[in-house]
Amino acid sequence: MDLSLKWHKHRLDLGGRTHLTGILNVTPDSFSDGGRYFSEAKAVARGIEMARDGADIIDVGGESTRPYSERLSTEEEMARVVPVIRRLSRKISIPISIDTYKSKVAREALAAGASIINDISAMRLDPRMADVAAEAGVPVILMHMQGTPENMQLNPRYDDLHGEIITFFKDAVKRCKSAGIKEHMIILDPGIGFGKTFDHNLSVIHQLKKFQALQKPLLVGPSNKAFIGKILGKEAHERDTGTMAAVAACVMNGAHIVRVHNVKLAAETVKVIDAVLRERANETVPG
């Protein structure tokens, strides 16, 4: 299965080493680092730092999608992310993804220098999003989420967790292809923490290989999530060690990209895990 992505001036060979997406929240209220990079100058500096630390993608978001969060206006979201993307894209050579479910925000972000669309709604909340992606010819990240950020954690229930996520992804891929998005430009994210209980999150990570049947690159974002806090009894900003353990589990179980806040630690973590996986792949049976 060829997992290389080539578009415009960018290329990601996802079938080799694990790739890293660095999270850049230009928000005052993110669950993990709200307010830390809210100013344009601090956000740009952080993006440059993550690129130097080993990020392959910088994911810029202007609206918090933590559980029970409220929607942000399109105008406010654009005011937060577009200036940062415009300045950052002139400073780094790696692709920038725009984390949004609003087509107008995505269009403006792409014009400013973004080159990937990361949509937590898998292009369901704004039907024009798929058209924007198709016209731009950029990769899309489709995330599974049960419900919306406002209600996704009220009472998430599944009769068949993995089967329902797979069906969701098949429908999302079909919808994107109908809009003209090339199938090889689609990345799937099972949505850790989005409409899932503690047990659901652990099960998704444990059974990631089930999603490989869809023959698409898998991106997983366990960074600082609540399930780690529940296991360790730690606040979001204290979860680096737990996050790296989750990152290792994701990579061992089939993730091609992991989305993290602490890129420097994650780069070291995946380098070791990738080496272990290469050794296992090279093993020969005696005889």
Specify the pLDDT at position 64.
81
The amino acid present at 15, given as its one-letter code, is: G
Instruction: Walk me through the domains of the chain, giving residue ranges and CATH numbers.
Output: 19-281 (3.20.20.20)
Specify the pLDDT at position 132.
98
Label residue 287 by pLDDT band (50, 70, 90): very low
Residue 120 belongs to what H/E stretch?
A: none
Specify the pLDDT at position 278.
87
Distance from C-alpha of 55 to C-alpha of 20, rounded to nearest angstrom: 5
Specify the pLDDT at position 285.
46
Q: How far is CA 25 from the centre of its chain?
A: 12
| Catalytic residue flag (residue 259) | yes
With left for phi above 0 and alpha for psi between -120 and 50, is residue 154 left, alpha or beta?
Answer: alpha
Beta strands in the chain (DSSP E): 4-7, 10-13, 19-25, 57-61, 96-99, 116-119, 140-143, 186-189, 219-220, 257-260
Short-list 83, 78, 141, 80, CA closest to 115: 141
**What pTM does this model have?**
0.93
Q: Which of 225, 239, 264, 278 is catalytic?
A: 225
Specify the pLDDT at position 78.
96
Distance from C-alpha of 71 to C-alpha of 39, rounded to nearest angstrom: 20
More reliable by pLDDT, 233 or 4: 233
Distance from C-alpha of 87 to C-alpha of 93, rounded to nearest angstrom: 12
Q: Which of 46, 80, 107, 259 is catalytic?
A: 259
Whether 112 has a pLDDT exceeding 90, the answer reads: yes
Which residues are CB-neighbours of 222 under 8 A, at least 6 positions away?
192, 201, 205, 228, 243, 246, 247, 250, 258
The pLDDT mean for the chain works out to 92
The three-class DSSP label of residue 213 is: helix
Burial of 183 (0-12, 13-18, 19+ CB in 10 A): exposed
Label residue 93 by pLDDT band (50, 70, 90): very high
Which residues are CB-neighbours of 231 under 8 A, at least 6 positions away?
242
| Catalytic residue flag (residue 104) | no
Label residue 44 by pLDDT band (50, 70, 90): very high
> Over pLDDT 70: what percentage of the chain?
92
How confident is the model over 121-146, as pLDDT tens digits? 999 999 999 999 999 999 999 999 98
Label residue 184 by pLDDT band (50, 70, 90): very high
At residue 207's C-alpha, the angle toward residues 204 and 212, to 5°, is: 105
Specify the pLDDT at position 35.
57
Specify the pLDDT at position 106.
98
Mean pLDDT of 104-123: 98
Please check whether residue 103 is in contact with residue 79, taking contact to mean a CB–CB distance below 8 angstroms: no
